[in-house]
Amino acid sequence: MTGCSTGIGRAVASRLARGGYAVVATARRVEDLRDLVADGDRGAGGLSVARLDVTDEVSVRECVAEVEARHGAVWGLVNNAGYALPGPLEDIPLDEARHQFEVNVLGPLLVAQAVLPGMRAAGEGRIVNVSSVAGRFSLPGGGCYHASKHALTSLSATLGLETRSFGVRVSTIEPAAVRTAFIETALNVLSRGGRRLPVYDAYRKRLETFYGRVRSRPRRYGVGSAQAVARAVEHALTSRGPRSRYVVGPAARLSLGLHGLLPGPWFDALACAVFPVPRPEGE
């Protein structure tokens, strides 16, 4: 599985290893995963680590080839690597937007392409893509992230249709905000800035303040746990009839319910009342 250095990936890898499954946890920096090995040894299947950069095709091919040489065809793939690129769209450099899609969309596709030949040959397999409820609607200040998750959700649905006859099932995991380093990463991105158009200086500060409140009062903002996401991933991997979509946590279910219930303009007004929006100076 990808993106195991922190948060959801770490929780999933530990849970599966303790459940007796052979787990290969990957990240760009293997040194971030060393302590996972001892945790995984408590399970019958064991846990090993490997370096994998989902934006590097050579890295992906080499990692999958190494795993297949040790364990045979990959039976279950969990695509978890991802991050958020917050900020007003006009102020985001295109190279950073491209990287957002390389990690959040093209990375999962690249890894899936690498493992699918083995799955097809075996006549079975599971692919679980960790997306977000952010892939079902859009909020101010998160345009690139929302767009990437919309794309990943769509990609997952299509991949599920195209591989089902080969015995491969594809599931998408859709939590809301999760108590991980995710919010800290978003704050770091905001602090370093994009192109820094002066018109958005005040808005960036409001976004930083908002994310800071979410970090300091997670329960108030419905921030869920990585363990809840790990349970959903395990179900998608082990259930005889895995669902194509797993909405995880009360905040995710509430937001999707409101999005489905409210007329578009009402939902947009609610989003702009809860989340900071850019405004002309003086307002």
Q: What pLDDT sits at residue 172?
A: 98
Strands (E), 81-216: 125-130, 168-175
The phi, psi pair for 49, rounded to 5°, reads -125, 155
pLDDT of residue 35: 77
pLDDT at 193: 58
- Backbone torsions φ then ψ of 133, nearest 5 degrees: -65, -15
pTM: 0.92
pLDDT at 221: 81
Phi-psi region of 129 (alpha: psi -120 to 50; beta: other; left: phi over 0): beta
Task: Indicate which residue of 145, 203, 211, 246 is catalytic.
Answer: 145
pLDDT at 110: 98
**pLDDT tens digit sequence for 176-225:** 988 876 777 777 777 775 567 889 989 999 998 998 888 888 888 888 89
By the 10 Å C-beta count (0-12 exposed, 13-18 middle, 19+ buried), 229 is classed as: buried
d(CA 273, CA 24): 43
Least Cα distance to 163 among 115, 209, 199 occurs for: 115
Class of domain 74-274: alpha beta
Q: Give the residue ranges of the chain where pLDDT is below 50.
A: 40-44
| Domain residue ranges of the chain, discontinuous segments joined by + | 74-274
- Whether 221 is catalytic: no
